[in-house]
């Protein structure tokens, strides 16, 4: 089973790119963030025609929005509201023998100070709430995958310059600490760093502001796929479709994917 995650930055604008990426990655399940459309305008037909018959979506006009599209049926679907808001950032499904959580953590604005910036405060509280939520799972046998745009690049080589980005939202010490707490909540495995050593640069996002993103290569790894310990022996591969950043009118994020043995 192959599971793909992509912050698509408008699914109605880029549905054809989602299908193209899913075909190249051989995805059985597609998880999208920033779909930016109310549910009634979601382009279901495009994905149904591509073989993804099962949809769980939660969207709003212009902002946020998450979707899970699958060739496999869902046993359960849930919507989670975070930090006293209903802003379409976290949905989950039970598929096969595991839970799949699709999460879009707030970006956090530009000022890395929760007292001066409500958006940054919201982000930190959001991650804290996720830590508590996942920490509430009982026992060591929970089979979960959590993925999406976490908007935090936790490691030194998850950003183009560790020193220059220490005071830039997405790589500040407090964000890294909060995400580490979330990861510790269920002893999550960071799938990417199983296959790409932590001392190697690895990115999933490059700003639209870069005229030649490949040449400047000022990227950040904001997108993640995590697995709980019972699923880690079943992890077979991690991949990222870097060339998608060059597609016409593509997202500033790229698709990432894992392959796991299905049971």
Q: What is the pLDDT of residues 147-183, one digit of tens each?
A: 999 999 999 999 999 999 999 999 999 999 999 999 9
User: Is the CB of residue 2 less than 8 Å from the CB of residue 257?
Assistant: yes
What CA–CA distance (Å, rounded) separates 79 from 67? Answer: 11
**Confidence (pLDDT) at 8:** 98
Structure tokens, 108: 């956090």
**Confidence (pLDDT) at 139:** 64
Kindly give the interhelix angle for 118-135 and 173-184, rounded to the nearest 10 degrees: 20
pTM of the predicted model, to two decimals?
Answer: 0.98
Beta strands in the chain (DSSP E): 2-7, 29-33, 54-58, 66-70, 76-79, 90-95, 98-104, 144-149, 189-190, 205-206, 219-220, 223-227, 235-240, 256-260
Give the number of domains in the chain: 1
Can you give the CATH number for the domain in which 77 is found? Answer: 3.60.10.10
**Confidence (pLDDT) at 211:** 85
Q: What is the DSSP string of 122-189?
A: HHHHHHHHHHHHHHTS-SS---EEEEEE-----SGGGBS-TTTTTTSTTS-HHHHHHHHHHHHTTT-E
Closest CA to 226 of 95, 103, 78: 103
**Confidence (pLDDT) at 262:** 84
Tell me whether residue 43 is exposed, middle or buried, using C-beta atoms within 10 angstroms of its C-beta: 0 to 12, 13 to 18, 19 or more. middle
**Confidence (pLDDT) at 141:** 85
Alpha carbon of 30 to those of 4, 114, 166, 248: distances in Å? 5, 33, 32, 21
**Confidence (pLDDT) at 152:** 98
Closest CA to 34 of 129, 119, 106: 106
Give the chain's residues under pLDDT 70: 139-140
Q: What is the CA radius of gyration of the chain?
A: 17
35 CA to centre of own chain = 12
Q: Which residue has the tokens 């912050």?
A: 7
Hey, how many other C-beta atoms are within 10 angstroms of the C-beta on 248?
5
Closest CA to 148 of 19, 24, 249, 257: 257
Closest CA to 89 of 135, 146, 48, 136: 146
- Biggest CA–CA distance in the chain, Å, is 49
Domain containing 145: what range?
Answer: 2-260
């Amino acid at each position: 089973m192959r599971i793909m995650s992509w912050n698509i930055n408008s699914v109605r604008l880029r549905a054809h790119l989602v299908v193209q990426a899913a075909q190249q990655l051989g995805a059985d399940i597609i998880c999208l963030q920033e779909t930016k459309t109310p549910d009634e305008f979601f382009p279901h037909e495009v994905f149904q025609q591509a073989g993804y018959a099962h949809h769980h979506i939660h969207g709003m006009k212009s902002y946020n929005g998450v979707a899970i599209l699958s060739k496999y049926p869902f046993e359960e679907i849930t919507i989670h509201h975070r930090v006293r808001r209903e802003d379409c950032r976290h949905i989950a499904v039970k598929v096969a023998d595991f839970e799949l959580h699709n999460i879009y953590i707030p970006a956090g604005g530009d000022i890395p100070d929760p007292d001066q910036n409500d958006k940054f405060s919201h982000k930190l509280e959001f991650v804290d709430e996720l830590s508590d939520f996942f920490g509430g799972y009982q026992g060591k046998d929970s089979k979960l995958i959590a993925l999406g745009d976490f908007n935090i690049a936790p490691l030194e080589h998850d950003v183009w310059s560790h020193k220059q980005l220490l005071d830039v939202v997405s790589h500040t010490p407090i964000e890294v600490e909060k995400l580490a707490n979330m990861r510790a909540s269920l002893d999550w495995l960071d799938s990417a760093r199983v296959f790409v050593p932590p001392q190697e640069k690895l990115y999933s996002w490059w700003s639209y502001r870069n005229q030649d993103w490949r040449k400047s290569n000022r990227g950040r790894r904001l997108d993640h796929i995590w697995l709980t310990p019972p699923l880690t022996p079943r992890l077979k591969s991690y991949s990222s479709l870097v060339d998608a950043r060059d597609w016409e009118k593509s997202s500033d994020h790229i698709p990432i994917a894992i392959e796991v043995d299905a049971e």
